[in-house]
Structures are given as C-alpha cells and as structure tokens.
Structure 1
C-alpha cells in the first residue's frame, strides 16, 4: 500500500509539471505573434493597394478629372481629360481630351466613336473606331489606366490623414520603380475609394481627381448619318 501511495504522489507531481510546461509554451506563442493579436500585418504594398483597387472595381464606375503637366524644356502644354467610365465589360465611357489635340470619345458597350475637334477636322463628323483604336484612346479611362501606377510601388507607404477636396481621407505615399524621385500619393475615403491620385516622376506630374463613384454612364452612340 505504501508503494502504491508513493506511485500516486509521483504521478500527481508529473501531471503538475506537464501543465506548467504547457502554460509556458502558450505564453511564448502569444509573444511570437502566432496567437493573441489577430490584426492583419501589412508586409508589402499590395496589402494596401489591393483593397483600394478592389473598392474601385466594386463601385463600378467613376468620374475623373485627369491633368498631366510636364516641366520639360519642350514647352508642351498641359493635357487635361474629363473621363466618365464604367469598369464593366464591355466598357461604356465618355472622354473629353484637351491638349495638343482636342477630341471627344464615346464608347458604347465597347464600341468607340471619335469626334476630332482639332482645327483640321470637322466638328460634326464622328469616326467609328476598331477595338485597338478604342483601347488606345481609352488608355486612361480603364481601371488599369487610372490606378495601374500603384502596381509599381516598391515599398510600404508613408501614411497620414488629411482633408482632401472636402473629404476626410487617408493618404498613402508610395515610392515607385522607374526613378529615385518617382512617387504616387493616393488619398482614399472611408470606403477605400480614391479621392485623389498624384503621380510624380522627375518634372512630370499627373493628377487624377475622382468623384461620383457608382454614377450611371450616359454614353450614347452618335446618329448613324454623322458616322464615317
């Protein structure tokens, strides 16, 4: 009976040691971040840019004012585009381009119609474009054209809050590939949709201002008798 009692006491001591070791192991797991803190860790630029692009895609459409300014010695004039575009396929969009050329593009269910308003062209006639020409003219009107610059981010951004064009926004400034001073600053609203995107690279600055997320795009094909 004495031996059996001693055996039971030893078993109890072993059980106590096992429980103590298990508790220590659990504490170490919390310290290493494998348990306890469930918040997501941002380790690469796409952790931030991915949700921004997804929010834009989910909104479905947007109105954008895009201005490109170059400070180079060639004296080029700023280029301005007023864009209304959907992100559905096939695309519907409207673009007014003012720069070295002035033209209007209407895209209705993927079919593009161009009215060249430069001096050398008639103001009344439209040209029906093939798919390649439509895509070329709509370069800045697709989701990739508007936000694709964010894919060039090379590191996590500097982040701050600011009032941007009357919106309480969170602004992320990313370094970009392609130049030591190339950056993109994207400011987003509380739904992660862009309010403003400013891309700088040397003496060139591209600024896009986003409004009216989810707007219905009123793209209408021109009358057939005015289409060449």
Structure 2
C-alpha cells in the first residue's frame, strides 16, 4: 500500500512544549545562571558559550536536565578561567535540581484532543530526556491514561520512528507524529514515512530548529493542538 493510501491508525505525540510547558523553565534557569556569572560575562555571550557546551555534551550526557546542569557548570569554569567560587557551583546545582520540580502545565487543547482520539487510535507518547524527569512530568500531567504506550528515547531519528511505530502500531506509513520540534519530531518522522504535524511553540531550543519540509505531501503545520482534528480527518 503506498504511503498516501495508508489508513491512519497510530498517532505519536511529543511531550515537552507539545503537551505541556517545558522550555520556559530552562529559560528562567538560564537567566538565573547569567545573574550568578554577571561579573564574568555578558548574558548574550554566556548564553552562546552555554549552547556550545550543550552541543558538545549531547553525545556524552544526552538531552535533559542533567546534561544542561553539567553544561552550566562547565561553562562557568570556562568563562571564569577556573576561578568560579564553590558557592556559585553549589547554586548552579541547586538551579538544576529546581528544574526537576517545576510544575506541569498542560498546554491549551492537549487534554481535549487526547480525549477525542483515545479509543479510536493507538496513542504513543514519544519523548526524549531524563527518564525519571519525563516519567514525573507524565504522571503529574494527568495525561498518562490516554496513551497505549510510552517511549522515552535518547534521540529521535527516522529509525527511532520506524521501530516504535512497528512495535506499537501498523508501521510508519499508517502513523502520524505531532510535535513542536522540526528537527526531532517532524523531519525524521516524515523520513520514516509518517505524517508529520508541526505545532510551533513560542519558545524552542536552538538545537531543535530545522528547515520545514514544506513541500512534502505528509507535512502539515497547525497553530495549536485544537486544529489537529481537521488534519486527522484529512489523513484518514
């Protein structure tokens, strides 16, 4: 069956900044970090150095709060040429720990859409990051019961989506991925053969940005989750 003729049976959802707020807490923590190192670097320069550290460290630490915290510590050591006070390191660790307890705030339409889809489609939560933190956020969101399966992965690639949608569904050709990251949620899912529905968030990490596959027959762009049902009716 060609992909354009395949009947939609499975829908994957990203978690952070697709179903609930997340990036805003990282931005607030980064401001806190900048204040701690105000005597050593301007905020923009510090942010650039931090992003460089995060990029270098992805292969070693992966995505999530632990890698972010370690990258902040590494950046603090670099910009102070090793003179960063132990008290500042302690406050950076505290800031990272605080990220692990931020409140979970579901985004508009998230619950309503999952309620509408539950029972009619296989719903899969596909997210990356720290295992314990992602499990905590899902539990506190109150959305966990809507999902037939949860996959917390180290990264998202076309192979990731092929594997997950074969394991929990009828293959990528009969699946749709919904998320706010072009780089992680949309481009690789479309490469795997899925529909890719991009739901932009006002705050998106630089490393999650990519060029939209605008001309692809399976790519769709919606402004919020409340518009997803129209896309699903079209896909099926």
TM-score (norm 1): 0.23
Return the structure number with greater relative CO, CA threshold 8 A, min gap 6.
Answer: 2
Higher strand proportion: 1
Determine which structure has more spread, i.e. the larger CA radius of gyration.
Answer: 1
